[in-house]
Structures are given as structure tokens and as C-alpha cells.
């Protein structure tokens, strides 16, 4: 269980760092900035939704353990 959450948190931190670098890279070009920012926001919403689904499916196997995590992720 701890291996699952540690790998998951590492993936989340990697995603946040990549998102930060993408926003910094395109902040100078104002024409494509809005498009890239909308794309990054859509990707982050997809990532959060995917995260919530994976934690809820993980919670269905271990009843009562991840109830707080599933409410946090959704």
C-alpha cells in the first residue's frame, strides 16, 4: 500500500514540475500563452479525475482505509 502511494506522489510531483516548466516556457509568447494554459488546465483536470478514480478503485479493495483519500481526491 505504501509503495502505491509513494509512486503516486512521485508521479504527481513530476506532473507539477513539468506543468511549471511549461508555463514558464510559454509565458513570454502571449499569443499562444492562453491556448497552452487552457491545455495545461485540461490536462491537470484529467489527471485529478484519473487520480480520484484510481484511489476510489483502490479503496474498493481495502474497505474503510482510503475513505479520506477518496473524498480528498474528488
Q: Mean pLDDT, 10 residues at a time, over the chain (74 residues)?
A: 72 80 63 65 61 49 45 44
Q: What's the pLDDT score for residue 66?
A: 45
**Region of residue 26 (phi > 0: left; psi between -120 and 50: alpha; otherwise: beta):** alpha
Q: What's the pLDDT score for residue 31?
A: 55
Q: What's the pLDDT score for residue 43?
A: 66
Q: What's the pLDDT score for residue 34?
A: 66
Task: Please tell me the distance from the alpha carbon of residue 38 to that of residue 43, in angstroms, as a whole number.
Answer: 9
Query: Is 0.85 topped by the overall pTM?
Result: no
Amino acid at each position: 500500500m505504501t509503495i502505491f502511494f509513494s509512486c503516486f506522489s512521485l508521479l504527481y510531483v513530476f506532473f507539477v514540475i513539468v506543468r511549471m516548466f511549461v508555463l514558464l516556457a510559454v509565458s513570454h509568447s502571449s499569443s499562444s500563452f492562453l491556448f497552452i494554459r487552457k491545455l495545461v488546465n485540461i490536462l491537470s483536470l484529467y489527471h485529478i479525475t484519473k487520480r480520484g478514480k484510481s484511489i476510489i478503485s483502490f479503496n474498493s479493495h481495502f474497505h474503510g482505509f482510503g475513505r479520506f483519500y477518496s473524498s480528498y481526491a474528488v
